[in-house]
Amino acid sequence: MTSYEWYAQKKKEALTRIIAMDYNDVLYVGLDRSLTNTGIALVSGQTLIHKDVFGSKLYGIERLKDLSSQVIMLIHKHQSDFSKVFVITENYAFGRINQAHALGELGGVMCLYLEMKKIDYVKVAPTLLKKYVSGTGMSKKDLLIMNVYKRFGIETRNSDEADAVGLAFLGCSSIFYAKGVTGNTKKDIECFDKFLSTELAKKGKNKSGKKLFEEVRDF
């Protein structure tokens, strides 16, 4: 089993658990990981409960632990009224070469903390988030604050917090769609279907003719 196949299976299991829950029993957490401004948004029943942006004054591994601990503490503060927590986080932006390794470390540590607390999570491609919030996957990041306000009526302090709000509502709305809620636009349905997909995108074949898989389709 490849790492992509492992994640596809893990995502399928997580979605199955969340879809089986009652509408208001799940706390949806949008998480935009950043070394300087980690954004987080908590949503339940299509209602924003809390949003925030935070950083850390520490360095190295201590900063990774501090940021991850802050995420877990904030979730713990609000999760007592819910049977399940579901975290939706943005996948790595592979074009950001300068920060790729550092953000990879942060992402790995945060996912480890979520695993240790038995919290389900999925990763969303930046282009999918942009398409859901702005209508196009090519939308510029600096327009996200305005688009989040136009779509959800929510003011955010920066693009990290705006990302987190968009991620939380994308996760919540996708699950509601999977449970049969109607009245969605065609573009929203396209986003929801991609969010819920656990297919692997085929990259090609190697010299032996074996199929290679590049990623889960929502990456």
DSSP-derived pairing of the beta strands 84-90 and 26-32: parallel
3-class SS of residue 19? helix
User: b/e per residue, 83-96, with b = 16+ CB within 10 A?
Assistant: ebbbbbbbbbeeee
Nearest alpha-carbon partner for 39 in 171, 192, 195, 168? 168
pTM higher than 0.75? yes
Asked if the model's pLDDT at residue 96 lies above 90, the reply is no
Q: What is the pLDDT at residue 137?
A: 73
| Residue 139 reports pLDDT greater than 60 | yes
If pLDDT is split at 50, 70 and 90, which confidence band does 145 have?
very high
Domain 3-216 has CATH 3.90.380.10: no
What average pLDDT does this structure show over 88-117? Answer: 80
Percentage with pLDDT > 90 across the chain? 71
Q: What percent of the chain has pLDDT over 70?
A: 86
